[in-house]
Structure formats: C-alpha cells, structure tokens
Amino acid sequence: MVKIRIPEDYITVIKNQALRSENEIYGWLIGYVGNSTSNVIALFECKKFIQQTLISAIPHAQEFQEISSILPQGIGPIGIYHSHPFSSEVFHSHTDDKTLLSLSKQFQESISLVTNGQDINFFKIHHNNIISDIRAEFGVPKIPSFVSFKLNIQFKILIPNKDFINQKKSNSIKMKIFNRIGDFLEDTWQNIKLLYGNKIFSPKNTVKNFLINEINGRALKIKLTDHNDHITLYLNDKLENNNALYKIPGKDVDSYTLELNIKSPIYITEEQKTIQDILEAVKTELIRNNILPKIYNSYIDNLNHKIIIPEDIFINFFGIYIRLLSFCAEGEEDKQIDTHPSLKFLLKLLSLIDTFLTSTLNKSAIDDIASLFSQIRMLHKKFHFTHQFKSDLKSINKKFSSKYKRMSQ
C-alpha cells in the first residue's frame, strides 16, 4: 500500500507551526521515494510568500528554486505541507489539488500534508493525476548512502585584452567562460574515464560497490581526457560571434588560470543501478548545479591573472549533505556579504532551527538540530557575518541554553 514515512517529531513541528500562525502556513517536504513509500527526511518552512492570508498561501517560486538548488542529486522536494486555520475538517481543497498537480509536473507522485493544528491528513497524487489519501507510518526513514564523484582540472582561459574585464562586464565574461567549459564537458563526456584510487574501472559496475556515508569518504575520480591536468580554452574577440571561439592567442590575448576542484555526492535509492546509469545525473550535477554557480560567484584577479573559484561548504542537514559556496574568494575579504545567497540560506536554517525549538522533540530530532546549529556556529567563527546573522545566532543560542543546556556547551 502506498504510504508516507515521516518522523513523528516533524508532525509535531508542523502542527505547532500551524497553531502559532493566524494565516495559512506552507512548507516543503524533503526526501526521496522508494518502494512506493515517500520518505520525508527534512522540512523547510516557506518564508517568502506572494500571498499569505487566513484562507490562502502562495509561496514565492524563487524560494523553492533556492532550496532545490542546494539539495544533492537523489534527494529533493517530494511534497508540501500546509494548514487550514480554524477549520474543523482537514481536507484537500480544489486549490490544494491544483498546487499538488503543479508540483507533480516537476516531482512525480508528490505528497501533501494538511493540518488544522490538531489533526493532520496525508494525500498523494498518482501517475493518472488522481489524488487520494494515503497511510502514514511514523518513524525515521533510512538515509540513503551516496557515491562521491571528484573532478580536479585546471583551465587556461585566453581572453582578449585584460582591460576588457572590468566591473561592468565581468558577469558577461563569466557566463562566456561557463558556456565554453560547459561545451567542453559536453564534447568530452562520452569518453570520460573513471578511477577508483589510481585504477580505471568499468562504469558497468554497480553503484553498491562504491557507496559511502561520509563526505570525506573515498570518491570516484573523473578523468576527462588523457591529458586533462591543463586544458586551454579560448574566448573570441567578439564574444557574440560564436565562429571566432577558437581564436589563436596573440599579444592582445591574456591568459587566466581557472582551477576547478569539485566533489559531488549522488545519493542512491536503487542500489542495483550501475555507475553508467547515473552518469547523466552526474554531468547535470557538475555543470548546472556546481560549475555554473561557482563561476558566476568567482573573483577575477586581473593582477595575478587568476579566476578564483569559491570553495564548497558541506553541511550535514538532517543526515544528508547540502552544499553552499564560501562567502568570499581570495582578494575579496572585505566584500560585503549581506546579499550573498549562502548567507541568506544560513538565515533560513537558523529560522528552521528556531521553529523546531518551539516543539518538544525526541532525541533523534534534538541531535539533528544540535548538529546543524553547531556547524553554523563553526562557520560563524570562520567568516565575518552581518549584524542580522549575529543577532539571530545569539537569540537561538539563548534558546538552546535554556531548553537544552548540553547543546550550548
């Protein structure tokens, strides 16, 4: 029978959130689907609405995209939760049906939790777009293991005239660099080699042989070409002219070094699959979810002719690893970070911890939020955060101290 598996603590948190709000609440259920069961391993409350009233809540699409972008391959939004305030009956309205149908176009067989703060019901949309109630099983789902892929490569980017790179045009240059690297990866992907240790192995091997649970565990190394330590890519003088991409460097062309050190966990819910089966997902993860944001947030150092890429920050989030970008590259230590997407996301995490602290939790959930909060505090020591972040961190630390004294030690 189709069902949902969700920690009972999450039900408590959702109900409390509904009772504390006069308006309809909204949030996302994060997890994976396996053996006809939707496994919820984390929650994200919606903080940005197009509209939020007593009878309606329309989340902002940008927030959903931000949350989806930091989740690893194999883990994602599998449904929504929301409330019907002051309603004696918990049901799935026509508006709820439309919302779930829209979500299912991106994530098949999405689920929906509806509560009035006291009772809660569970619904699922099936392949034929029929929505029905489903059985809930309260418990902590198994966290899938993952295969870690690593790519280390250095590019020499030849760009016409260093004066062309200035503050106004740097974003345009970055997008051209990303497009060239993306084209290069697309062209070479069919011939990649995979190394485990120093040995090449066949992608026909099952993923089960390479599963790990720690981000620093042994990774599979991607080798793009036989000589992929240094790759030279050219940008043309007239960037809009694609026919000139392979301009031969001369005295008007400057060389910039760009080094990519990438690690990507791919979570596996079907262990019988082969490495070959997931390589397309690996390519998507590398190009769209890793290389693109890194290049876009890079720092172009004209003095040293380097394109400096921000480092990865991996955070253990309820048992899965999410990836944020570091807040400044070398040479940008004094740059304001109040609008940095990673800072905004850490503020969301602090808000989520605050929401959990309003409920009485079991040890498993306590350990999860304690671990999450500890990792955020460690980042606070490493980077110079804004006043708002420091204030939020201090406020939540006080709540930890009063409610769970051992966590604030």
Q: What are the chain's domains?
A: 3-138 (3.40.140.10), 146-311 (no CATH), 341-408 (no CATH)
What pLDDT is recorded for position 55?
65
Token pair, residue 397, equals 């630390």
What pLDDT is recorded for position 246?
44
Per-residue pLDDT of the chain (409 residues; tens, 9 = 90+): 568 999 999 999 999 998 988 888 889 999 999 888 999 999 998 887 766 666 666 676 778 888 888 899 999 999 989 888 877 778 777 777 777 777 777 777 788 899 998 999 999 888 777 888 888 999 999 999 999 999 998 999 888 765 555 555 677 888 888 888 888 888 889 889 999 988 999 999 999 999 999 999 999 999 987 765 678 887 754 433 443 444 444 567 788 999 999 999 999 999 999 999 999 999 989 888 898 889 988 888 888 989 999 889 999 999 999 999 886 544 444 444 555 778 888 988 999 999 999 888 888 888 999 999 999 998 888 777 777 888 889 999 888 877 766 544 4
As a whole number of angstroms, the distance between CA 273 and CA 256 comes to 40
| Cα R_g (the chain), whole angstroms | 23
As a whole number of angstroms, the distance between CA 384 and CA 402 comes to 27
What pLDDT is recorded for position 233?
82
What's the sign of the alpha-carbon dihedral 105, 107, 108, 110? Answer: negative
What pLDDT is recorded for position 34?
87
Token pair, residue 379, equals 């980042």
- Quote the DSSP letter at residue 128: T
- Quote the DSSP letter at residue 350: H
- Give the 3-state secondary structure of 282-342: HHHHHHHHHHHHHHHCCEEECCCCEEECCCEEEEEECCEEEEEECCCCCCCCCCCCCCCHH
| Closest by CA position to 6, among listed 197, 196, 138, 117 | 138
- Quote the DSSP letter at residue 11: H
| Closest by CA position to 106, among listed 81, 134, 78 | 78
As a whole number of angstroms, the distance between CA 228 and CA 327 comes to 29
Which H or E element spans position 26?
A: strand 26-34
Token pair, residue 172, equals 């345009």
Token pair, residue 261, equals 């050190």
Which residues have C-beta within 8 Å of that of residue 391, sequence separation ≥ 6?
none
The percent of the chain in helix, strand and coil, each rounded to the nearest 5, is: 35, 30, 35
Provide DSSP, 60-111: -HHHHHHHHHHSPBT-EEEEEEEE-TT-SS----HHHHHHHHHHHTTSTT-E
What's the sign of the alpha-carbon dihedral 218, 219, 225, 231? Answer: negative
What pLDDT is recorded for position 330?
46
List strand residue ranges (DSSP E) for 76-207, in order: 76-83, 111-115, 120-125, 131-133, 135-138, 146-160, 193-196, 199-201
